[in-house]
Amino acid sequence: MIALENLREKLGVAEPWVESRGTYWLNPGMATVRELAQAMNSAGARFVTITAYELPGDAGFRLEYHWDLQGCLLGVPFQIAGKSPESAKIESIYDLSEAADWIEREVHEGFAIEFTGREYEPLMLKPGDKPGVNLREAPAQDNPAPSLPGQKEVAQ
């Protein structure tokens, strides 16, 4: 597909797109997630979602960003090294892709991953007071996040 090749060239990625189980995957190499979001916007791709995976041990996380381009599902994985609050960070694309707002908040809540360059509104899905207690193998330790309002407080 010409559009896919244009995207790859725009990002300066040497490796080709690889089709696997119906999804086209691209290893982003040195390209950042914000460069990717800008390239997707200019190609007219529709943001779909971010899927977060916790890697074994201290290996950190893998975030798979998905866009739809003319009916093709595109996937671009990004690695986050480490699980501590200092290392579990990635740039937010919320200002480039408004549709990423809720899923960034959800991943932040489920895995205690910090999307830098944005502010968080109160917890969206999990009632309670601390991000990173929902989908991580072990609850995030030493999380400096301030206490956030629980469900009942939001409801009032």
Residues 1-60 contacting another protein, CB under 8 A: 20-23, 46-49, 51-53
Task: Answer for the pair 25, 77: CB distance below 8 angstroms, yes or no.
Answer: yes
Nearest approach, Cβ of 26 to another protein (angstroms)? 14
Q: CA Rg, the chain, in Å?
A: 17
Nearest approach, Cβ of 87 to another protein (angstroms)? 21
State the pairing for strand pair 18-20/23-25: antiparallel
| Rounded Cα distance, 68 and 118, in Å | 24
Nearest approach, Cβ of 50 to another protein (angstroms)? 9
Go through the chain and tell me how many residues it has.
Answer: 156
Residues 116-155 contacting another protein, CB under 8 A: 121-127, 134-135, 151, 154-155
Residue 156, Cβ neighbours under 10 Å: how many?
A: 5
Binding site for another protein (CB under 8 A): 20-23, 46-49, 51-53, 64, 66, 68, 70-73, 75, 97-99, 101-103, 110, 121-127, 134-135, 151, 154-155
